Amino acid sequence: DAGVIQSPRHEVTEMGQEVTLRCKPISGHNSLFWYRQTMMRGLELLIYFNNNVPIDDSGMPEDRFSAKMPNASFSTLKIQPSEPRDSAVYFCASSRGGQGNQPQHFGDGTRLSIL
């Protein structure tokens, strides 16, 4: 089975630009999670989808961040406009169902640098 696939692996862009991060969950998984990891704040859950529907977006830092899941095999996290403080590693994870006995499987992450 292919794991969770994220792209790009690295992104460097200038402040004010739009950034789009992409995620393909594991086939058959119907829960998808976006996380942000920084040294200062550790791992933070940004948003959680179940069956393509956003269930909890309380972790999204502000209106500049938006996430979509148009179908079961694709999700995007968009930042517009980007700011230097958005620099972090962004992870996507998926799991089978919303049950705790099904662990989350993480992608390799996107390292985002905003100059």
Partner 1 sequence: AQTVTQSQPEMSVQEAETVTLSCTYDTSENNYYLFWYKQPPSRQMILVIRQEAYKQQNATENRFSVNFQKAAKSFSLKISDSQLGDTAMYFCAFLGTSGTYKYIFGTGTRLKVLA
Query: Given the rule CB under 8 A, which residues bind partner 1?
Result: 31, 33, 42-43, 45, 48, 50, 55-56, 89, 91, 93, 95, 98, 100-101, 103-106, 108-109, 111
Amino acid, res. 113: S
* Nearest CB to partner 1, comparing residues 84 and 97: 97
**Under 8 Å between Cβ of 22 and 65:** no
Give me the residues paired with residue 81 across strands: none
Tell me the helix, strand and coil percentages in the chain, rounded to 5.
Answer: 5, 55, 45
Q: Which of residues 2 and 17 has its CB atom nearest to partner 1 in the complex?
A: 2
Q: Where does 1-115 have alpha helices with state H?
A: none
Smallest separation, CB 81 to partner 1 (Å): 26
Q: Choose between 65 and 91: whose C-beta lies nearer to partner 1.
A: 91
